[in-house]
Amino acid sequence: MKIDLTDTTASQINKALIEGRRAIGSPAVGMVLTLVIVTDEENAYDALRSASEASREHPSRTLVVIRRVSRSPRDRTTSRLDAEVRVGAEAATAETVVLRLYGEVVGHAQSVVLPLLLPDAPVVVWWPINAPSDPARDPLGSLAQRRITDAYATERPIQELAARAETYAPGDTDLSWTRITPWRSMLAAALDQVACDVTGAEVEGEEFNPSVELLAMWLADRLDAPVTRSHSNGPGLTAVRLMTDRGPIGLDRPDGSLATLSIDGQPDRAVALKRRETAELIAEELRRLDPDDTYESALRFGVDRLADSGVAGERASGSAAGPAKASGGPAGEGGSAKKAASGRQPSAKAPGSATKKAAPAKKATDT
C-alpha span between 31 and 93 (Å, rounded):
9
Mean pLDDT of the chain: 81
Q: pLDDT tens track of the chain, all 367 residues?
A: 889 999 999 999 999 998 888 888 776 667 889 999 999 999 999 999 999 999 888 889 999 999 987 666 666 667 899 999 998 766 566 789 999 999 889 989 999 999 999 999 999 999 999 999 999 999 999 999 999 999 999 999 989 999 999 999 999 999 999 999 999 999 999 998 888 889 899 999 998 899 999 999 999 998 878 888 888 887 989 999 999 888 899 999 998 889 999 998 889 999 999 999 999 999 999 998 999 999 999 998 875 563 333 333 333 333 333 333 333 332 333 333 333 433 433 333 333 333 343 333 343 345 7
pLDDT value of residue 40? 94
Question: How much is the pTM?
Answer: 0.81
Cβ-contact 343, 221 below 8 angstroms: no
* Domains of the chain: residue spans and CATH: 2-149 (3.40.50), 181-356 (no CATH)
Cβ-contact 127, 150 below 8 angstroms: yes
pLDDT value of residue 89? 67
What is the layout of strands, in order, in the sheet containing 318-322? 269-272, 258-263, 247-252, 237-244, 198-205, 225-231, 318-322, 353-356
Residue type, 148: I
Determine whether 30 is exposed, middle or buried from the number of CB atoms within 10 Å of its CB (0-12, 13-18, 19+).
Answer: exposed
C-alpha span between 325 and 353 (Å, rounded):
16
pLDDT tens-digit series, residues 66-91: 998 766 666 666 789 999 999 876 65
pLDDT value of residue 92? 63
